[in-house]
Chains A and B, each alone.
Chain A
């Protein structure tokens, strides 16, 4: 007994006297380094093509370069402003100098556009003032008074607060706006007034529609996957081709095909009317119904494939064992087969849901204004109004939603059981 416990207590050493644990760790580190070296090119590629753009996107959503770069002197002085009353004569002086330079460098519109987001009418104020630059002043006259003479809004502290708020190179403005928040004077966010809110509803709609598409995909995809997994090989190959067929054409073509089928003069409505089932065409396209039908159709393979791959790996003997133990086949399916497929279904559902919340083309083409999802507004801000800040903020929030979902998923199912292959 004694000698045994002694042996147990002494740290084990390798033949050369180095403690075994240290030696093991050293070997493991070497292996890790080698592995790291092997994946380095891929990691670099991922970094440049994937992580870097995402990083830039995140930065864009809080980026605020206009005021700082167009009004450098003013910005510097406003940083020390006590925010009470109007700024000092020196600040007005600096503004005059900055605007003069901005006029020469033709950067005024940039500034005007940015400040107009804060207070509407700011654009005309800036442009009118800039046109008066450089100021011709009688000696000893106050610059401040001259500014107020040009436009009395320069005497309104709110306009100065707006400039001061943006005299930093980053801003929460876009993220707040994307969440229907606005910044109060003290800098804390508050909910925007009812009539100005828009994006919370759109986010809610995006999640809600994605949820329904996912539910329909599960409801339709599970039986198909089961069918695929149980059919004899030849038939299942044929069915698999049918499942994958949609991938052979572009999403655009598929959506166009659905429009042809679903519109009020479309095939389905005409067939139903021809059969006398309905008198007037059913509203199937350009509403939520149409969006659901097309999105479920497009995303169905993404839930079928992971579910099928999990089902394929479950031997038939499990069900036979349960039945031989006396369970009714339906009960056995539910108690034995279904739990083993949950990981695959969850992986597919997650995939579908994540793809849904970023979906653009189908709602844009097959939906009405009430079906547009967040991506539509990302496109709107990038293509129509060229507001990169808003586009990036909406995009970042989508990214956050996706990451949150994944975190919840891995907590519930365990990321190690995620298998898409």
Chain B
């Protein structure tokens, strides 16, 4: 994974951007966001969290109610969308149905008054890039969904925009094709070095493709980081739950010990958890731990935190098995065990040792009592 270093220069910056459609509620609340040159940034969040709205403000189809958007130090607020030089890929592709694929690709080039030979050459190159060399004369209606998707991609890139926006471009494809296209888009991004802002509500898509992911909720960025950081070090319980799988435990903070808290769980056990969000003594905090960080039975022996858990269910996944346990009075505690490490002697109802290192249990938001 190529993580853009922080020193890299900024292409787009949102400053205190707000957006309201109805004058009553803010869809985007005080957005500050820097998009770095050449990075692949994904906006990830549940439906209605304002991702498309942000993208549309960047493209110029919506105006911010407040705040500034700059592209390379140029204030964009008053630049009409057709002068912004930003490529866009739409979810329904928006290929012009009365034009052939080649004419679709030539469209932005003709507007930019390139010569005929230049246009032909660029169209040919773009078709080659998306592996559709022999499809130039076809109409969009004669292409499959995946092929249309590629044409839309090629059209958004053919005029060398500095920035390409994609709003759930793979939403209409089936799973297999979607995974294939994810890789293809990623490779094209790497080879062209263009800056991409990508919107999705599919977290695995966000994790596999992006340099950085911005997690949205209710018009606020919850966390913006590289995929591995988001996964390993979620900043709050929304991010922890939204990305990957997660076990949540609740407990009362007894004492702070350096970077850690001592927390008493519902069953009375006391565990140590990494203090991510500040909590007062006596407050109830929610803690998260990933299912694959939990050790069982003999392997739990050396762990700082150790509890007893009762096996409730085996769920078979091919490469691994998930065990559902009752831990600290909670019966939805999941543990992932590779098939090779499974003890054939375990049965539903057995009581096992459950353990993890204190670093992996993250004390996040304080819970309102």
Report the separation of the CA atoms of residues A317 and B59 in the bound assembly, to the nearest whole angstrom.
Answer: 13
A69 CB → nearest B CB, Å = 60
Q: Are B155 and A325 in contact (CB under 8 A)?
A: yes
Q: Is B346 part of the contact surface with A, judged by Cβ < 8 Å? A: no
B147 CB → nearest A CB, Å = 17
Residues of B within 8 A of A339 (CB): 98
Residues of A within 8 A of B155 (CB): 321, 325
Report the separation of the CA atoms of residues A318 and B83 in the bound assembly, to the nearest whole angstrom.
Answer: 17
Q: Is A276 part of the contact surface with B, judged by Cβ < 8 Å? A: no
A-B contact pairs, 6 of them (CB 8 A): A315-B92, A320-B90, A321-B95, A321-B96, A324-B81, A340-B98
Report the separation of the CA atoms of residues A370 and B130 in the bound assembly, to the nearest whole angstrom.
Answer: 65
Specify the main secondary structure of chain A where it touches its partner: helix
Q: Are A326 and B108 in contact (CB under 8 A)?
A: yes
Closest to A324 in B: B88
B171 CB → nearest A CB, Å = 13
**Known contacts A318-B96, A336-B96, A339-B98; A325 and B159 CB within 8 A of each other:** yes
User: Considering the complex of A and B, which 4 residue pairs feature the smallest CB-CB distances, nearest first?
Assistant: A321-B94, A325-B108, A317-B94, A324-B88
Residues of A within 8 A of B87 (CB): 324-325
Report the separation of the CA atoms of residues A329 and B60 in the bound assembly, to the nearest whole angstrom.
Answer: 13
Q: Is A327 part of the contact surface with B, judged by Cβ < 8 Å? A: yes
Report the separation of the CA atoms of residues A325 and B107 in the bound assembly, to the nearest whole angstrom.
Answer: 8
A316 CB → nearest B CB, Å = 9
Q: Is A322 part of the contact surface with B, judged by Cβ < 8 Å? A: yes
Report the separation of the CA atoms of residues A327 and B94 in the bound assembly, to the nearest whole angstrom.
Answer: 15
Residues of A within 8 A of B156 (CB): 324
Q: Are B97 and A340 in contact (CB under 8 A)?
A: yes
Closest to A342 in B: B98
Q: Is B192 part of the contact surface with A, judged by Cβ < 8 Å? A: no
Q: Is B86 part of the contact surface with A, judged by Cβ < 8 Å? A: yes
Residues of B within 8 A of A318 (CB): 94, 96
A328 CB contact (under 8 Å) in B82, B95, B98 = B82
A327 CB → nearest B CB, Å = 5
User: A126-168, CB under 8 A of B: which get 1 and which 0?
Assistant: 0000000000000000000000000000000000000000000
Q: Are A322 and B86 in contact (CB under 8 A)?
A: no
Q: Are A320 and B98 in contact (CB under 8 A)?
A: no
Report the separation of the CA atoms of residues A317 and B96 in the bound assembly, to the nearest whole angstrom.
Answer: 10
B329 CB → nearest A CB, Å = 51
Q: Which of A321-375 contact B (CB under 8 A)?
A: 321-329, 331-332, 336, 339-340
Q: Are A317 and B108 in contact (CB under 8 A)?
A: no
Q: A320-B61, A325-B108 known; 17 other A-B pairs, CB under 8 Å?
A: A317-B92, A317-B94, A320-B90, A321-B90, A321-B95, A321-B96, A321-B155, A323-B61, A323-B81, A323-B82, A324-B81, A324-B156, A325-B159, A326-B83, A326-B112, A327-B108, A331-B111
Q: Are A327 and B111 in contact (CB under 8 A)?
A: yes
Residues of B within 8 A of A328 (CB): 82
Residues of B within 8 A of A340 (CB): 97-98
B88 CB contact (under 8 Å) in A320, A327, A331, A336 = A320
A287 CB → nearest B CB, Å = 42
Q: Are A326 and B88 in contact (CB under 8 A)?
A: no
Report the separation of the CA atoms of residues A339 and B139 in the bound assembly, to the nearest whole angstrom.
Answer: 15
Q: Is B292 part of the contact surface with A, judged by Cβ < 8 Å? A: no
Residues of A within 8 A of B96 (CB): 318, 321-322, 336
Residues of A within 8 A of B88 (CB): 320-321, 324
Q: Which of A1-36 contact B (CB under 8 A)?
A: none
Residues of A within 8 A of B108 (CB): 325-327
Q: Is B85 part of the contact surface with A, judged by Cβ < 8 Å? A: yes
Report the separation of the CA atoms of residues A323 and B61 in the bound assembly, to the nearest whole angstrom.
Answer: 9
Report the separation of the CA atoms of residues A326 and B111 in the bound assembly, to the nearest whole angstrom.
Answer: 7
